[in-house]
Structure 1
Amino acid sequence: MGKVFGTGYSVAMVTKMHGGAQKVVYKIDCTNGFSCVLYVWDITMNYFQEEIANQYTNAQSYGSELFEINNRYLTGHSIRTPILYDLNKERNHYNFDYALVEYVAGQDAEAYFNHPDARVKDTIFQRLGDMITGMHAGESGIYGKPNQAESNTEQCHLLQFENAKIQLSYASEYIDVIRENQGKLLDMLHNLESQIEPRSRYGYIHGELGPNHVLVTDHLEPCLIDIEGAEFYDIEHEHSFMEFRFGDFYRYLKNDHLDVNRKLFYQYHHHLSLISAGLKLVQRGYPDQQTAKGISDYHTRRALQFIEDVTEN
């Protein structure tokens, strides 16, 4: 703290905050009243280190370099995210990278779902909708991180296609109802993928934009956090995720010009992926076991309901 901010910034208290599954987060309070946040990217504390080691999709959303790249992009395009004060990747004293970032006072967006004042809710979610529309409008002919120069040879949705097969296979080992319906679930995945037409333009997405990744400031301004997974990609990937994470409040965020087939495919992929993700968190000792199990159970039901609904229609 002294090296970054000066000798007047003495640490009074360090508090571990509720972080995600891929990095450790602390709030630092100083004796002079200043507060900031410490991010620690320690792979030994990551609940998906096995997937990262094997270069599965989690590897695209972990690490200080991805945070730095996306922080620069978001800040440069006037999309609110905590200010990066300092990033240390030297590993001279520790075997992990860490950063000091702005402490944004406020609550996450979900805390406002049941707010008694409709005007407050309108203000917050309309602002968030405008922010997301502006973010998605940033286009590229190459999917991937903002600093990526070489184009990929295959369509981006095929990454999710392969990942969904891996996650379905994993879940079938531990969940009876998934194992019993594995063939139907896999057939649906292939069917949805076959409906997708090629694309060569991509929007900039957050990658996991749920209400827990939106902080709302005291001035009711939305601020995006956990930005490591942001990249140029199909915006249908984002919208299909936001639709079930924001529930009724998705009406503020929706886009009426999406590719319906892509959105259906990504929606289904999210269900298959999150069955496995919740299961792994349970198995690997995630502190909030009830939430982790709830994720797996909820998306198991949704995936099975999905194949029934699509078959009926």
Structure 2
Amino acid sequence: MTRAFLRPDDLHDLVTAHFGADRRVASLDRLTGGTKKGVYRIGLDDGSSVILYLWAAGENYWPPSPVVPDDPFTDASGAELFGAAHAALTAAGVRVPRLLLLDRDGRFLDDDLALVEDAGSVLLEALLQHDPAAAEAHLARLGDAVRRLHTARGPGYGKVAAIVDGTAPQQRGTEDVILDRALGHLALAAGRDPRIAGARERIEDHLRGLRAAVAPRREYGLVHGELGPDHVLVNPAGEPVIIDFEGLAWFDVEWEHAFLQLRFGDRYPALRPVELDPDRLELYRYAQTIALIEGPLRIAGTDFPDRQWMLDLAEHHIGRALTAVARPGRAGRPGRR
């Protein structure tokens, strides 16, 4: 598809309405990294700046795929989800960019948008790579925020917005939702990579075995869904500011910790995690491995600009998935494409 991104002139009415007729757009930068929404830094002629989120079809690189109906992490994008998640995180005492404007009526552009505080450009991910000593205090503060989320208790599982309006399905255990989610990802990944296709039966058996070890439980905390160091800004005051939180849901906290372990690696203990169910954690960890094969392979088949990064991510997780089900004598030696 032909993608047309915002230009400074497109923002005249928005800037005039929110900041006054004497304000002008001095610069407009489309920030990289987003795959479902457009993220723009608007520089104003008084030297200040704000961030614009835009939920437009031309900003979303993800092609559609089959979904599990009660999977709360499906289609985790949109202004409605953003607004509900922002309110829930703020109420929980978690630092997120201050919301300046949420427009779902097309008053300024043809698509839903949010205008938020510019919390800066310093990602925790960059600090961990280039200044790990400075990152230590930020990890501790982020851990405090994560514990506030994970020790909250909700009435059921589902997207925060769906719990608020009463539309979240509540028919079965979360472990079965995740099993079906993983099996769906496995089927799609097998259609894109012959190594996964060759190991599909073994991977499915492994997933079902992990599911069988999980005891029933009905206790849910607030879960970001993709809380890696690339989704945490460190603002000029040294506060960790969580972003990209439309996927916020009430769910098993082990789902979050499987992702935290993956993304933070050796630094994960600095977050001082809550107590976890090891069997549930193991199922969710492997399910996320399968998702991180299928999703990157799917988006790599589009016009996403950093296609090689997605292919490399999928390759890493193909190795992890195959190692877990390797036949005796072949562990650690997955075949090449």
CA-CA distance at 1:218 after TM superposition: 2.1
Q: Is the 8 A contact 1:8 1:32 kept in 2?
A: no
Match of 1:71 among 82, 86, 90: 86
How far the C-alpha of 1:293 sits from its partner, in A, is: 0.7
1:123 to partner: Cα distance:
0.8
> Which secondary structure does the structure 2 equivalent of 1:61 belong to?
coil
Name stretches of at least 5 consecutive residues in structure 1 with no aligned partner. Answer: none
Displacement of 1:9: 2.5
What TM-score do you get using the length of structure 1 for normalisation? 0.92
Check the 8 A contact 2:81/2:160 in 1, yes or no. Answer: no
**Offset at 1:146?**
3.1
* 1:132 paired residue number: 146
Aligned pairs for 1:39-54 (under 5 A) are: 39-51=53-65
Is the counterpart of residue 213 in structure 1 residue 228 in structure 2? no
Range with bigger deviation, 84-93 or 44-53: 44-53
Q: 1:309 to 1:102 in 2, by over 3 A?
A: farther
Question: What secondary structure does 1:192 align onto?
Answer: helix
1:238-279 Cα offsets, whole Å, 9 max, x none, are: 000110111111111242510001100000000001100110
CA contact (8 A) 1:84 1:99 kept: yes
Secondary structure, aligned partner of 1:51: coil
Distance (whole Å) between structure 2 residues aligned to residue 17 and residue 10 of structure 1: 20
Equivalent residue, structure 1, for 2:3: none
Q: Among 30, 33, 53, which residue is 2:44 paired with? A: 30
Deviations 1:66-125 (A, max 9, x none): 00000011112220011111111113664421111111114111111134462x222111
**Residue 222 of structure 1, CA deviation:** 0.6
Give SS of 1:174's match.
coil
Unaligned runs of 5+ in 2: 1-14, 332-337
Instruction: Tell me the percent identity.
Output: 31
Alpha-carbon RMSD across the aligned residues, in angstroms, is 2.3
SS at match of 2:22: coil
Cα deviations across residues 181-206 of structure 1 (Å, max 9, x unaligned)?
11100100111111111111101011
Equivalent AA in structure 2 for residue 182 of structure 1: R
Following TM superposition, by how much is the alpha carbon of 1:295 offset from its aligned partner in structure 2, in angstroms? 1.2
Aligned residues: 311
Q: 2:309 aligns with which of 291, 300, 310?
A: 291
Aligned match of 1:183:
201
Q: Which residue of 2 aligns with 1:197?
A: 215
Structure 2 counterparts to residues 115-126 of structure 1, below 5 A: 115-116=130-131, 118=133, 120-126=134-140
How many Å separate the matches in 2 of 1:61 and 1:116? 32
